[in-house]
Amino acid sequence: MKTGDLLNERYELLESLGKGGMAEVWKAHDRQTGNTVAVKGLRPEDFLRAFEGNSEVYAQQYKLMRERFGREASVLRALAHPNIVTYLDTGMFGDEPYIVMEYIEGLSLREFLERHVLAVSAVAAIITQIAWALGRMSLIEPPIVHRDLKPDNIRINTRGAAQLIDFGIALPVSPETARYTEQGTTLGSRGYLSPEQHDGLDLTPKSDIYALGCISYLLLTGEPPFPIEQASQLKRRHCEEIPPPPSTAAQYNVPEAIDDLVMRMLAKEPAERPTASEVIEVVAPLLPQPGNPAPNPSLKPDPTAMFRATPDAPSDAGAPPPPRAARGSRWLNRRQVTDQLALAKAERDRGQPGPGGQALINDLLPRARAEWGPLDRLVRDMELAAEDYRRAFGDGTHG
């Protein structure tokens, strides 16, 4: 692919956005919609150069490369979430496949942190949005593990929404899922890999929670838990050492709850780490509230904007305005919905289904989606709680 190429008589390549080991991402113009999009295409010639002397191995590696690329498109299609880059299309350019995704205008989290020092409320806003995405990934069937969650693979768009990108090595956690790397092989960026990734063991959604713990540590202190520059020590330190709590390295008071949360996310054993839902619950009290003033110094983009928005003055990052209520219907009351959500979570924690979960799944969640929109913070919390409830008890209609 090169600048000016036209894919499927529709996508005109404008400029390269970056190259990886196997693929290149392009900024492109969609002539059909008029929108700017991102196009990801394979670069087999660079990746396969090392195998050119062995035609059998070359053919095998090329096949696996194509299959992994196809799986990336399938993963993105399945996820469909506001905090995950949106899949748009696939196609072929000559002999090579490509994936079309939304173009995210904004900054990578790494670039964002180079420009800003964050207060706790902004840290909470970013952690929550990443946890929303991880919650979606963990609760579909089969669950998806990103395997390369790091600041460069998180974009803060111009509206302040955090979005996960680059699912090139994402893995559905299922016995039926084909492995395109040998057992024991380490993939991902070592500064953010879980101990089980470093050891080449089987992964679960808790592996991405460990990476979120590393990112949270970075957000609070300006540095990951173990210096990435000391590459030769990273595996040993991630697998064996416990880093000091972020409160000991931060330049402001870190609330005890988030200090403890980050250390639990960094637990060596996956079973000891919280779920995405638990992360959201712990961080929720630290989030900015509707009507709060904008951060000072200002953040551009501003990840707190959607949380500070009020119903009568939604932020650019918020959901579209709700439809009019049908004649005779009542708008949902957010406090009552929050109480019902807490009841459903309590039923889940007790292991006993009941009226809280029934109301959440069968009545409140569909109405909340319609009235407040899919990007609303409470709606997203309800989505995760409903999925947790279904996983524990089925469809929530019994009890």
- Show which residues are catalytic: 148
- Amino acid at site 31: R
Query: How far apart are the C-alpha atoms of 101 and 88, rounded to whole Å?
Result: 5
86-94: long-range contacts, CB 8 A cutoff, minimum separation 24:
88/37, 91/7, 91/8, 91/11, 93/1, 93/5, 93/7, 93/8, 93/41
| φ, ψ dihedrals at 29, nearest 5° | -105, 125
Nearest alpha-carbon partner for 244 in 259, 222, 261: 259
Query: How far apart are the C-alpha atoms of 104 and 158, rounded to whole Å?
Result: 8
Query: How far apart are the C-alpha atoms of 40 and 13, rounded to whole Å?
Result: 11
* 162, β-bridge pairs: 156
Q: Tell me: is residue 40 an annotated ligand-binding position.
A: yes
- Residue matched to tokens 């402001």: 252
Tokens representing 396 are 């929530």
Tokens representing 207 are 């592996």
Q: 276-283 vs 256-265: helix axis angle to the nearest 10? A: 170
- Amino acid at site 15: E
Contact indicator for 302, 125 with CB cutoff of 8 Å: no
End-to-end CA distance of the chain: 57
Residue ranges for the binding site? 40
Residues annotated within a binding site for ATP: 40
